[in-house]
Amino acid sequence: MSEHTPLGPWIRRFLLEHVVAERNLARNTQHSYRDAFALFIPFVAKMQKKSIDRLAVVDLSADLVRRFLADLESSRGCKIATRNQRLAAIRALAGFVGEHSPVHIEWCGQIRSIPFKKAGRAVVPYLEKAEMDALLAAPDRRTAQGRRDYALLLFLYNSGARATEAAQLKVRDLDIRAACVKITGKGGKQRLCPLWPATVATLEGVMGGRSAGEPVFVNRLAHPITRFGIHTVVERYTLQICAKFPALATKRVSPHSIRHSTATHLLRAGVDINTIRGWLGHVSLDTTNIYAEFDLEMKAKALAKCELPPDSKPKKRWRDQPDLMEFLRTL
């Protein structure tokens, strides 16, 4: 009976067979799914007053899913984006179970009918050119750590790489002679990105004599730097320049902000949107179009400054030009 089908084996199959073996989803996505169930399963067990190992598939009712999502926002203070991430994991599990167990198709439909909550589009956080230049100038390059930090910040700005992509970068991914880097992004997709001569020279200086399989960026213990370590580097130098640029206090500056800055500055430099899509490794052009829309807003503001002053004499309207009207009637 479907009412007694245990939940545990299905979650194991979903995470191991579907997420890893079949879909080969990124490690961050795997961790996101794992964390979602680590929160959801104890919540269901508490609501159903059962031990976790005695939960059945149908104990994950649509009503409990909705209550769990509401609890994420009210008790844990999660944003809508986090709520939707948790729901995506639960819906994916329901789809997997329904595909392999026909008796659970109705249950699957009930879970997958729970809609994602619509959230307003957040403003794209990016740094102005002067702010980015100040961030790059902040590390003390007289020290080994300062040189490493400068190389990291310069690479992030040059390539538009995500924090995870920079953390996983290996020496073999750099082609010094061709001045380019191979970046492995989400889902194992790879892209080539050109490097500035200054970036190449800086990276050569911090890599030392490392072998091809070693990481480009390491911490003070010579261990591979993590994406959390990269976040710390960006935040540390942002604090240093906040006194000079007070506007940064209102921005949530992160490695992804530098990625947005790269895209915005490329767009302002006249690089076409499809080239920027490939540069950043976006699957869909719709994602990259966010920057185009943002830039159009800036263009509209610039256009408004070019309007005629109030005391300017307006040109004669076409209706008030009889010679022109007479000419048109003769055609």
Structure tokens at 180: 């380019």
| pLDDT given for residue 126 in this prediction | 85
pLDDT of residue 302: 46
Q: Could you tell me where the DSSP H helices lie in 49-174?
A: 62-74, 80-100, 105-112, 129-137, 144-159, 163-167
- Quote the pLDDT of residue 236: 95
Which pLDDT belongs to residue 284? Answer: 61
Sheet with 190-194, side-by-side order of all strands: 174-175, 180-184, 190-194
Q: Are the CB atoms for 229 and 160 separated by under 8 Å?
A: no
Which residue ranges form the domains of the chain, and what is each CATH number? 2-112 (1.10.150), 129-304 (1.10.443.10)
With a cut of 70, list the residues of the chain below it in pLDDT: 1-3, 121-124, 283-331
Tokens 């010679």 locate to 323
Residue pair 267/291 in contact (Cβ under 8 Å)? The answer is yes
Instruction: Kindly report, residue by residue over 299-331, the tens digit of the pLDDT.
Output: 455 445 555 455 555 555 545 555 655 655 665
Query: Cβ distance 160 to 280 under 8 Å?
Result: yes
Q: What is the pLDDT of residue 229?
A: 96
Is this structure's pTM higher than 0.85?
Answer: no
> For residue 183, what are the β-bridge partners?
191
pLDDT value, residue 273 = 73
Residue 150: CA count within 13 A, CB half-sphere: 23
Please say whether the beta carbons of 127 and 253 come within 8 A: yes
Torsion (CA) 295, 301, 305, 306 in degrees, nearest 10? 50
Among all residues, which ones are annotated catalytic?
162, 186, 256, 259, 282, 291
